[in-house]
Amino acid sequence: MQFVESRFPRSHLITLAVLAFVTLVIVPLIYSNGAIANHDLQRYGKYLCWAVLATSLNLLWGYTGLLCLGQCVFFGLGGYAFGMYLMLHVGVDPVYKTSLPDFMDFLGYTELPPHWKPFENLGFAMAAVIWVPGVMALIFGFLAFRSRITGVYFAIMTQALTFVAWILFLRNEFTFGGNNGFTGFKKILGANLYSQPATSTNGKELLFFVLSALLLIATISLMISLTRTRFGKVQRAIRDSENRVRFSGYCTENFKLFIFTLAAIMAGLAGALWLPQATGINGDVAFRPIESLWVVVWVAVGGRGTIWGPVIGAILINALKSWAQREYENTWILILGGIFLVVVLFLPGGIASLGKKLPKWFRICRDWIEAFMATRKKKVDPKEGGEGTS
């Protein structure tokens, strides 16, 4: 048996090629002509980062059966790791006359804490984007899976992890900005991070959008490749019946630990690219428990256990949320809740299952119409002895 199936699905390959063409050719061309504003491009880039976050949860929940209610913890850790580098390159504060982050000046710090100093280097910060959420997931997963905690108990533990991170990062003495968090970014590698003026097309908005799209393409490609290996088959078998896999001689704990750590790294990378496009981060944005629940909604609405479902769900729900908050400020949550209920009740497989269900619904509607027309014809046809006879 081959370790990897030989043929890459053509439909996925075409979709990835189209996404790459739009990202690398169409969007830059439109942006250079001024047809897309900088703030709109930043918003689209955030959608792509959230799609990567949803894909990381889908790898856990949809393909391994591990419902994680704390995926935003790793997303936030990646954002904070990159944010530390950006905060150290804001420049000299005009009020306090120091190059320390402003919240440290406010708290009375006179020098940079030791754990901040390595983050002055971009290479170390980018490495931290990977190893900080990865190590956190490795430690947490090792303790959880070694104790064979599964199902709803695992979900509760991950939500408890979210609460701990939320409370911890809101504390000022934790040296990560407290309630205010990180904001006011200006430069990266000595270059302006944002266009000046805001209508200019010479900033880094396009760069971060392209990087976000390339990360999404890489993430989807990795998922497709992984699910077509023996490892991916064992992964889905764990989802369907972990005890049977364990009795077959596999150490399921090692499989789950690897997937949990990989999903955390994916979420951390998404958080790092999301941060400069969001222009700031704090404990409420990164670690509030409801944020991780939103990711579950994205995956459920899009279709868990599918390749493109979570991507569709993340982009669609966030775009709809952005519109509803503007148009229906007081009732937008009811609109999204209603959509979620409709999908759960009538599309348990998510939006991604529409391709299979629409032909079936079309055939049912066609049969009903044909039956109705046949009944009407029977009533009005004199030869059939119906109501039309005298």
pLDDT digits (tens, 9 = 90+) for 140-161: 999 999 998 888 999 999 999 9
> Is residue 125 a contact partner of residue 82, using CB atoms and an 8 Å limit?
yes
The stretch 270-283 carries a mean pLDDT of: 92
Sequence ranges of the domains in the chain: 10-349, 357-390
- Does the structure show a pLDDT above 60 at 385? no
The stretch 71-79 carries a mean pLDDT of: 95
pLDDT digits (tens, 9 = 90+) for 158-186: 999 999 999 999 988 888 988 888 888 88
Look up residue 169 and give its two tokens: 């990062």
Cβ neighbourhood burial of 138 (10 Å; 0-12, 13-18, 19+): middle
Nearest CA to 18 out of 6, 8, 26, 30 is that of 26
121, amino acid identity: N
The stretch 289-297 carries a mean pLDDT of: 91
The strand pairing partners of 182, in sequence order, are 281
pLDDT-above-90 percentage for the chain = 45
- Does the structure show a pLDDT above 90 at 371? no
Confidence of residue 1 (pLDDT cuts 50, 70, 90): very low
Integer-rounded Cα Rg, in Å, for the chain is 25
Distance CA 98, CA 110 (A): 9
Lowest mean pLDDT among 31-35, 40-44, 119-123, 385-389: 385-389
> Is residue 76 a contact partner of residue 64, using CB atoms and an 8 Å limit?
no
Lowest mean pLDDT among 100-114, 164-178, 180-194, 367-381: 367-381
159-to-53, 163, 176, 244 alpha-carbon distances in Å = 16, 6, 21, 28
> Which residues fall within 8 angstroms of residue 163, CB to CB, at 6 or more apart?
289
pLDDT digits (tens, 9 = 90+) for 196-236: 666 666 668 888 999 999 999 999 999 998 888 888 889 99
The stretch 277-289 carries a mean pLDDT of: 89
Average pLDDT of the chain is 86
Per-residue pLDDT, 388: 47
Q: In 119-250, at which residue ranges do the beta strands (DSSP E only) sit?
A: 182-183, 187-188, 191-192
Q: In 135-208, at which residue ranges do the beta strands (DSSP E only) sit?
A: 182-183, 187-188, 191-192
The stretch 44-72 carries a mean pLDDT of: 94
Confidence of residue 380 (pLDDT cuts 50, 70, 90): low
Give the CA angle between residues 136, 224, 28 to the nearest 5°: 90
Per-residue pLDDT, 201: 64
The tally of CA atoms less than 13 A away on the side-chain side of residue 229 is: 10
Q: Is 303 left (phi over 0), alpha (psi -120 to 50) or beta?
A: left
- Does the structure show a pLDDT above 60 at 6? no
Distance CA 70, CA 315 (A): 20
Per-residue pLDDT, 279: 85
Taken in order 37, 186, 80, 255, the sign of the CA dihedral is: positive
Look up residue 347 and give its two tokens: 């599309």
pTM of the model: 0.89
